[in-house]
Structure 1
Amino acid sequence: MSLFSNLLNLHLGNKPREDFFTEIVAYFLSLNNDILLDWLKHYSIIGDDKYSSIKISTQQEHQALAIHTEDSRLDIVVELSTGLTTDVIFIESKIGSKEGWEQLKKYADILSNLPNIKHRILIYITRDYDPKEEIKTPAFNLEPKVIFYQLRWHQFYARLQQHSTDILAQEILIFMRKNGMSTTNQFSSVDLLTMVNFNKTLHLMKSTLNEEVQREFKLAFGGVIKGAASMTQWRWYSIYIIYTKFSGDNLWCGLGYFNLNPDTLTEYPYLGIFLEVSASFGERPKIIESMQKVINDKPRNVEY
């Protein structure tokens, strides 16, 4: 196991893998500006400008613009200066998760509003296939313009392999392989096994959530949203559940399968039930207090 995997495993609770990897890569690139520039030039993101200063920061916070509903926190911000002009690159990194609601649009708005910038560049880099063909470049018809690029982490992995004599680079490569970030479009034996058994597995999941289970769920929670369990859930949220809502969209309960797209071969899906309350709901503190009482009374095998 890599050094970074060992360090991440020391973190209690849910492991902040995306933030953890962001910090690793940003630190490595801050020490190896030549590798950063080589990567950006290889994909024609920057030209041959002679930069005299390169600044890399992570988790940079920006106050919400008037058209936004909340503040933003950027994964990586790269500032490239020639002494006369400055280029700014926002990098949004995803490993297992998907883009938040209009997240890239919001970041593009922030970029476009930065003063005294020559080139404004937004990079969306993912482990998994998450096409953003609807985002043209320049992005979102903003003025000043924001240039958008979409990359995959396996492309960065391929470039980094050319610098594998560096010990830190070797550790990053090991971490990326372990977390499926070096994978291209080649099928493995596990992938083929999944194809063969997919329909059988899906049928079993449907069967176990139908009839008797739905009847008990209705008795306990008052109903089931029609057609709740769907492949859309599986694709976007790694779940396959039946659910119902209370107080409009403020409180809801779900039962079914979770973690259906695990990040490593050592993780497995699990069957569970959960309650979720909206952050804006006025009764949220009371509901959370009640949930905590249930957890305290039934502490075994409870995740929250």
Structure 2
Amino acid sequence: MKNVFSRLFRVLNSSSGHPHEDFLTEVFAELLCDQEMMIDFLGNVLEIPVQEVKYSSIQTQVTFPALPHHQMDSRPDMVIRFYEGQESYVLFIESKLGSPEGTDQLSRYADHLGVLTNQGTNCYLIYLTQYFDEKDVSLILANQKNVVFRQKRWFQIFKWVKQLEAKNIYASKVLDYMEEIGLEDNRQFTPVDVYAIQNMNRLQRMMDECMDGVTDGVMTEHFGKAIQQNNRHTQLKYMERYVKASEQEGRATEVVVGFYITDEDYPFVSVVYEFCPRRCPDVPKVVAAMQNFMAAHPDWRTFNLNTDAEWQGISCDRRLIDFLHHEDHINEIQKFFLEKLKELHEIKVKNPDLYWK
């Protein structure tokens, strides 16, 4: 049987945005509710020299209204408040499991903390990532010299929790879950990894062939030329997808075809129409067009609508395994892409003013 957190995750998988990130935040916040764990975490992981913690509170997904010079509200994953004697402390923790930093996300958080430092509070901004993502502190703290920035990796958290698991039953369950989602401190290649590396070029060529050729021709005809091929590697690193994307007017919307890495045993092969709420001048109009389209095409689904996700929209997905019974996998995937791109073109025909190229 799966670890309890993995079972709960399946129940909560309808969460918008990045569900593993949101779920791990809740799991980790519960661990820090233990006073001894909190003090140890502050001192030995974050290197914040405190001897005692009083009147502590931990909140997750707290929204801070946009400051006058911000374009949007801010919502750090975790906010920790406490006192040591008469000194007050506030920590913003932002966690990333593969996803990229949002638009000026850390700088906006630093600005909010800067307001608190002006009131005499000791403020720390913690950026906690699964993968290496070094930040330029001078840019993040450009206007907030009194805020302290700390950057940590999740494998470091794993090592810290592992030292304490004998004292805390809950910590051992957290470790089980972290192992299952790949946050353990095992930095060794497995035989499967070696095989994947040896076949990396072949797999990439096959995926490229699915998206290029006739697929690229139809995509260009209906939605304009796709962005450069090297963008596919950026998408794979930060968004766990290897795709071809055609950005529309002002990057308000985009049409995407390609391969999406999932929490299931197989990746998805998908065609996507998505919009960026921050850039899209008329979100209700785009959403209405999507809903009208889905009424006639029930195999499409929505994702992330009415959330603070960077990209929201509709997609038509097939599991890669569904194509494996055919003799020519690439040909069948291309057929799927062509069929769904032609369907999607109906939105453009019926709504020519929706920020197309």
Q: TM-score range by the shorter chain?
A: 0.7 to 0.9
Q: Deviation per CA, 1:227-272: give whole Å up to 9, x if none.
A: 356322222222333333444433321222222xx4x5x4432221
Instruction: Specify whether residues 196 and 185 from structure 1 end up closer, same or farther in structure 2 by C-alpha distance, changes over 3 A only.
Output: same
CA contact (8 A) 2:158 2:185 kept: no
Q: Which residue of 2 aligns with 1:273?
A: 271
Instruction: Specify whether residues 117 and 33 from structure 1 end up closer, same or farther in structure 2 by C-alpha distance, changes over 3 A only.
Output: farther
SS in structure 2 of the partner of residue 300 of structure 1: coil
Considering only aligned residues, what root-mean-square deviation do their CA atoms show, in Å? 2.4
Give the letter aligned to residue 161 of structure 2.
L
Deviation, structure 1 residue 111: 0.8
Deviation, structure 1 residue 136: 4.8
Q: Report the TM-score, using the length of structure 1 for normalisation.
A: 0.87
Give the letter aligned to residue 159 of structure 1.
W
CA contact (8 A) 1:87 1:117 kept: no
Q: Percent identity?
A: 28
Is structure 2 residue 287 aligned with structure 1 residue 288?
yes
CA contact (8 A) 2:56 2:80 kept: yes
User: Which consecutive residues of structure 1, in runs of 5 or more, have no partner in the other structure?
Assistant: none
Deviation, structure 1 residue 283: 4.7
Flag the structure with higher helix content: 2
User: Which consecutive residues of structure 2, in runs of 5 or more, have no partner in the other structure?
Assistant: 303-313, 315-357
Aligned counterpart in structure 2 of residue 117 of structure 1, from 117, 120, 127: 120
The size of the alignment, in residue pairs, is 296
Give the letter aligned to residue 299 of structure 1.
P
Q: Which residue of 1 aligns with 2:104?
A: 102
Q: Report the TM-score, using the length of structure 2 for normalisation.
A: 0.75
SS in structure 2 of the partner of residue 240 of structure 1: strand
After TM superposition, the structure 1 = structure 2 runs for residues 209-248 of structure 1, keeping only pairs within 5 Å, are 209-219=211-221, 221-225=222-226, 227-228=228-229, 230-248=232-250
**In structure 2, what is the Cα distance between the partners aligned to 1:12 and 1:149?**
30
SS in structure 1 of the partner of residue 48 of structure 2: coil
Instruction: Specify whether residues 191 and 284 from structure 1 end up closer, same or farther in structure 2 by C-alpha distance, changes over 3 A only.
Output: same
Is structure 2 residue 160 aligned with structure 1 residue 159?
yes
CA contact (8 A) 2:227 2:246 kept: no
Instruction: Specify whether residues 248 and 92 from structure 1 end up closer, same or farther in structure 2 by C-alpha distance, changes over 3 A only.
Output: closer
Deviation, structure 1 residue 226: 5.1
Higher relative contact order structure (alpha carbons within 8 Å, sequence separation ≥ 6)? 2
Q: Which residue of 1 aligns with 2:31?
A: 28
Deviation, structure 1 residue 174: 0.9
Deviation, structure 1 residue 5: 1.3
Deviation, structure 1 residue 44: 5.6
Instruction: Specify whether residues 278 and 82 from structure 1 end up closer, same or farther in structure 2 by C-alpha distance, changes over 3 A only.
Output: closer
Instruction: Specify whether residues 140 and 117 from structure 1 end up closer, same or farther in structure 2 by C-alpha distance, changes over 3 A only.
Output: same
